[in-house]
Amino acid sequence: MATTGILLCGVGGQGTVTFSNILTKGLMDLGYDVKMSEIHGMAQRGGAVTTQVRYGEKVYSPSLGFGQADIIISFEKCEAVRNIAYLREGGIVITDTCELNGLPILQGTAEYPHGILDELEKTVPNVMVVEANKVAADLGNVVVANIVLLGAMVKAMHLEAADWTGIIESSVPPKTIDLNKAAFNAGYAM
Amino acid sequence: MSKVIMSGNEAVARGAWEGGVTVAAAYPGTPSTEILENVALYKNDIYCEWAPNEAVAAEVGLGAAVGGARSMVTFKHVGMNVATDPIFVAGYTGVNGGLVFVDADDPGCHSSQNEQDNRWYAPHAKLAMLEPSDSQECKDFMRDAFKLSEKYDIAVLLRMTTRVCHSKSLVELGDRDGAEVKPYVSNKEKYSLLPANALKRHPIVEGNLRRLAEDAETLPFNKVEDNGSDIGVITSGISYQYVKEVFGDSANILKLGLTYPFPEKLISDFASKQKTLYVVEENDPFLETEVKALGFKCTGKDKIPGCGELNAAVVKEALTGVKDPSVYEVAGDVPSRPPMLCAGCPHRGFFDVISRSHKRLVLAGDIGCYGLGTYDYSFCMGAGFSSTVGMAKALELQGDKRKVLGMVGDSTFFHSGVNGLFDIFSTQVNVIACILDNSITAMTGHQDNPGTTKNLMGEDKPAISIEAVVRAIGFTDENIRVVDPLDLKAMQAALNDGINYTGPFVIITKRPCALIREVRKANAGKFYIVDTEKCTGCKVCVGVTCPALSFENGAAKIDPSQCTGCGLCAQKCHFGAIIKGGEF
Which tens digit of pLDDT belongs to each residue from B339-392? 899 999 999 999 999 999 999 999 999 999 999 999 999 999 999 999 999 999
Q: At what angle do helices A145-156 and A177-188 cross, to 10 degrees?
A: 40
Residues 517-546 of B with CB under 8 A from A: 539, 542, 545-546
A42 part of contact set with chain B, CB < 8 Å: yes
Is pLDDT of A41 > 60? Answer: no
pLDDT tens-place string over residues B89-103: 999 999 999 999 999
Nearest CA in chain A to B335: A110
pLDDT at B537: 94
Cα maximum dimension of chain B: 82
Determine contact, residues B241/B316, Cβ cutoff 8 Å. no
More confident of the two residues B131 and B331: B131
User: For position B266, what pLDDT does the model report?
Assistant: 98
Mean pLDDT score, B33-46: 97
d(CA A31, CA A57): 8
> Is pLDDT above 80 for A146?
yes
Confidence grade of residue B324 (pLDDT, cut at 50, 70, 90): confident
Residue A46, pLDDT score: 78
| Mean pLDDT, range A78-95, rounded to an integer | 96
> Is the CB of A48 less than 8 angstroms away from the CB of B166?
no
**Residue from the list A28, A60, A116 with its beta carbon closest to the beta carbon of B334:** A116
Query: Would you mind telling me the total number of residues written for chain A in this entry?
Result: 190
| pLDDT grade for A42, boundaries at 50, 70 and 90 | low
Quickly state the pLDDT bin for A1 (edges 50, 70, 90).
low
Cβ contact B343:A97 at 8 Å: no
B76 Cα to chain A: minimum distance (Å): 12
Q: Report the C-alpha gap between B506 and B433 in whole angstroms.
A: 5
pLDDT at residue A70 in the model: 97
Provide CB contacts within 8 A for A151, sequence distance 6+.
A183, A184, A185, A186, A187, A188, A189, A190
Q: For the segment B533-560, what is each residue's pLDDT rounded down to a tens digit?
A: 999 999 999 999 999 999 888 899 999 9
For residue B263, report the phi and psi dihedrals to the nearest 5 degrees. Answer: -80, 85
State the pLDDT confidence band at B178, using cuts at 50, 70 and 90.
confident
pLDDT in tens, B494-534: 999 999 999 999 999 999 999 999 999 999 999 999 999 99
Q: Biggest alpha carbon distance in chain A?
A: 49
Is B302:B285 a contact under the CB 8 Å cutoff? no
Cβ contact A84:A120 at 8 Å: yes
- The reply to whether B339 touches chain A by the CB within 8 Å rule is yes
d(CA B139, CA B530): 53
CA pair distance B271, B298, nearest whole angstrom: 9
Instruction: Using alpha carbons, list the distances in angstroms from residue B464 to B445, B449, B569.
Output: 21, 9, 33
Q: Is some CB atom of chain B closer than 8 A to the CB atom of A47?
A: yes
* Rg value, chain B, Cα: 27
The pLDDT of residue A44 is 60
Helix or strand holding residue A8 (H, E): strand A3-11
How many angstroms separate the CA atoms of B154 and B292, rounded? 27
Cis status of the peptide bond prior to B31, with omega within 30 of 0: yes
Amino acid at B565: G
Q: Which of A24, A62, A104 sits opposite B241 (nearest CB)?
A: A62
Residues in chain B within 8 Å Cβ distance of A82? 334, 337
Task: Identify all chain B residues contacting A60, using CB atoms and an 8 Å cutoff.
Answer: 241-242, 244-245, 312
Mean pLDDT, to the nearest integer, of B311-320? Answer: 96
Instruction: Give yes or no for a contact between B545 and B554, defined as CB atoms under 8 angstroms apart.
Output: no
3-class DSSP state for residue B154?
coil
Per-residue pLDDT, A39: 72
User: In 3D, which of A176, A162, A183 has the Cα closest to residue A55?
Assistant: A162
3-state secondary structure of B349: helix
The 3-state DSSP class for residue B148 equals: helix
Question: A41's torsion region: left (phi>0), alpha (psi -120 to 50) or beta?
Answer: left
A27 → chain B, closest CA residue: B5
Kindly report the CA angle at B380 between B7 and B494, in degrees rounded to 5? 115
Question: Residue range B249-270: average pLDDT?
Answer: 98
The residues, any chain, with a CB within 8 Å of residue A56's CB and separated by 6 or more, are: A1, A2, A3, A4, A32, A33
**Under 8 Å between Cβ of B20 and B178:** yes
User: What length is written for chain B?
Assistant: 584
Cα–Cα distance measured from residue B77 to residue B403, given in angstroms and rounded to the nearest whole number: 33
Name residue B267's amino acid: I
| Cα of B524 to nearest chain A Cα, Å | 16
Interface contact A113-B335, CB threshold 8 A: yes
* Whole-number pLDDT of residue A40: 62
How many degrees, rounded to 5, is the angle at CA B32 between CA B56 and CA B147? 75
Which residues from B are below 8 Å from A61, CB to CB? 241-242, 244-245, 311-312
Residue whose C-alpha is closest to residue A35's, from B452, B136, B88, B417: B136
Cα(A67)–Cα(A82) distance, integer angstroms? 13
Q: Is the CB of residue B541 less than 8 Å from the CB of residue B556?
A: yes
Beta bridge partners of residue A71, listed in sequence order: A6, A92
Sheet holding A126-130, edge to edge: A126-130, A87-96, A69-74, A3-11, A48-56, A33-38, B167-172, B3-7
| For residue B113, pLDDT beyond 90 | yes
pLDDT value of residue B461: 98
pLDDT for res A16: 85
Q: Give the SS3 label for residue B335.
A: coil
Beta bridge partners of B279: B234
Mind telling me how many Å the CA of B190 is from chain A's nearest CA?
A: 40
Instruction: Give the whole-angstrom CA distance, residue B153 versus residue B93.
Output: 9
Q: Answer whether A106 sits within 8 Å of B546, measured CB to CB.
A: yes
Q: pLDDT digit string (tens) for B432-486?
A: 999 999 999 999 999 999 999 999 999 999 999 999 999 999 999 999 999 999 9
Angstroms from A25 CA to nearest CA on chain B: 8
Cβ neighbourhood burial of A34 (10 Å; 0-12, 13-18, 19+): buried
Nearest C-alpha of chain B: how many angstroms from A178? 23
Query: What is the pTM assigned to this prediction?
Result: 0.96
Q: Of chain A residues 57-116, which have a CB less than 8 A from chain B? A: 59-63, 65-68, 78-79, 81-82, 84-89, 91, 101-108, 110-113, 115-116
CB–CB of B564/B578 below 8 Å?
no
- What's the pLDDT score for residue B1? 57
Question: Does residue B253 belong to the interface with chain A, where contact is any CB pair within 8 Å?
Answer: no
Q: Is A125 on the interface with B (CB under 8 A)?
A: no
pLDDT tens profile B129-166: 999 999 999 999 999 999 999 999 999 999 999 999 99
* Residue B281 near residue B287, CB atoms below 8 Å: yes
AA identity, residue A161: A
> Do residue A116 and residue B162 have CB atoms under 8 angstroms apart?
no
Q: Model confidence over B270-292: pLDDT tens digits?
A: 999 999 999 999 999 999 999 99
B334-370 b/e with 16+ CB inside 10 Å = b? bbebebbbbbbbbbbbbbbbbeebeeebbbbbbbbbb
Closest CA to B146 of B115, B176, B106, B118: B176
Q: Which residues of B82-115 are buried (b: 16+ CB within 10 A; e: fewer)?
A: bbbebbbbbbbbbbbbbbbbbbbbbbbebbbeeb
Within 13 A of B539's CA, how many CA atoms are on the CB side? 11
User: Which residues from chain B sit within 8 angstroms of residue A43, using beta carbons?
Assistant: 339
Mention every residue, 6+ apart, whose C-beta is less than 8 A from residue B479: B501, B503, B504, B505, B506
The average pLDDT across A60-69 equals 94
Q: What is the mean pLDDT of residues B91-120?
A: 97
Among candidates A40, A47, A107 on the partner chain, residue whose Cβ is nearest the Cβ of B30? A40
Is residue B525 left, alpha or beta, with left meaning phi > 0 and alpha meaning psi from -120 to 50?
A: left
Closest residue, chain A, to B328 (C-alpha): A85
State pLDDT tens for residues A103-125. Answer: 888 888 888 999 999 999 999 99
DSSP states along B169-233: EEEE-------PPPPP---HHHH---HHHHHHHHHHHHHHHHHHHHHHTT-TTSEEE--S-SEEE
d(CA B580, CA B528): 4
CB pair distance less than 8 Å for A104 and B336? yes
**Which ipTM did the prediction report?**
0.94
Q: What is the mean pLDDT of chain A?
A: 93
Selection from B318, B319, B35, B66 nearest residue B162 by Cα = B35
**Mean pLDDT value across residues B166-183:** 95
Terminal CA-to-CA distance of chain A, rounded, Å? 32
What is the layout of strands, in order, in the sheet containing B276-280?
B223-225, B252-256, B231-236, B276-280
Q: What is the CA radius of gyration of chain A?
A: 16
3-state helix/strand/coil string of A52-81: EEEEECCCCCCCCCCCCEEEEEECCHHHHH
The answer to whether the Cα torsion of B135, B139, B144, B145 is positive or negative is: positive
Q: How confident is the model at residue B407 (pLDDT cuts 50, 70, 90)?
A: very high
In whole angstroms, what is the distance from residue B412 CA to residue B437 CA? Answer: 10
Residue B548 pLDDT: 93
Any chain B CB within 8 A of the CB of A34?
A: yes
Rounded CA-CA distance A87/A131 in Å is 21
